[in-house]
Structure 1
Amino acid sequence: MASISDYVLDAALSKLDTEADEIHICSAEPTVYAALSSLGNSASLSIGAPADRAGGGREVTVAAITDGEVTATGTATHFAIVDTVNSRLLVTGSLTASQAVTNGNSFSLASFKIGIPDPA
């Protein structure tokens, strides 16, 4: 059976803490940085240290966002965590619930976890 050490999983997850500098809300799930359909963003991104993940593997916690700025009107369905310095899309996922947003307003997100499961 294959296995990956916590050291290796932690190295991957630590890139989020050291390189991610913005979180975006998007109208669709982007697959590359250039296709980011951003409706708003926040640079107040805080990602915790890797820890054990329920069910095996490792995870990090993304702190709640309270100061997001909406920059376009639409329906936010996904989030994207990016490295703007290197134009990299690092992580995407669905929002807990979609939300209509209006340009000029603000948004917030509850804290959430991003994890890598142990190999099967």
Structure 2
Amino acid sequence: MAKFASNEVLDAALAVVAGANRMLLLAGQPASYAAAQAGALAETAMAPADFTLAAGSGGGRQLNVAARGGLVAQAAGTADHVALVDEVGQRLLYVTTCPAQPLAAGNSVSVASWQVSIGAPL
């Protein structure tokens, strides 16, 4: 028997991620919201317009996250993770890897657009 999940179900999960109001660049994967906040090398505000839902390649759904430019590094380190957080609810919502970028405090950094994908049930 085939398996099925409606786009509404998949989109609901992605909508939680799209509730993020900050994007953080980090050296390493944070284990909690507090760790993400404490370890942020650079950060930027996020708004609902920075997220768009779409059909995923190969099935499922994806959340497109807009590129961000002009972030100013607040600390030195090598950014290799990106986190989306909800500051109001103090929740770490999503973490992914990114190409390693050495950052010096005060320097400008950009983040290319990226996606969060949820596949169709297997």
Taking structure 2 as the reference length, the TM-score comes to: 0.89
**Does residue 56 in structure 1 map to residue 59 in structure 2?**
yes
Who is 1:28 aligned against?
28
Q: Which deviations, in whole Å up to 9, do the C-alpha atoms of 1:27-78 show, x marking residues without a partner? A: 0011321221211101145111x21101111001111101312111000001
Residue identity opposite 1:25 in structure 2: L
Distance (Å, rounded) in 2 between the aligned partners of 1:99 and 1:75: 5
Between Structure 1 and Structure 2, how many residues are aligned? 117
Q: Say if 1:77 and 1:94, in contact at 8 Å, map to a contact too.
A: yes
Who is 1:116 aligned against?
118
Who is 2:4 aligned against?
3
Who is 1:78 aligned against?
81
Residue identity opposite 1:102 in structure 2: A
Which of 89, 94, 97 does residue 97 from structure 2 map onto? 94
What are the ranges of 5 or more consecutive residues in structure 1 without an aligned counterpart?
none
- 4+ runs deviating over 4 angstroms: none
Distance (Å, rounded) in 1 between the aligned partners of 2:46 and 2:94: 16
Give the RMSD, CA atoms, in angstroms. Answer: 1.3
CA-CA distance at 1:115 after TM superposition: 0.9
Alignment of 1:12-23 (within 5 A): 12-17=13-18, 19-23=19-23
What are the ranges of 5 or more consecutive residues in structure 2 without an aligned counterpart?
none
Q: Which moved more, 1:67-76 or 1:80-89?
A: 67-76
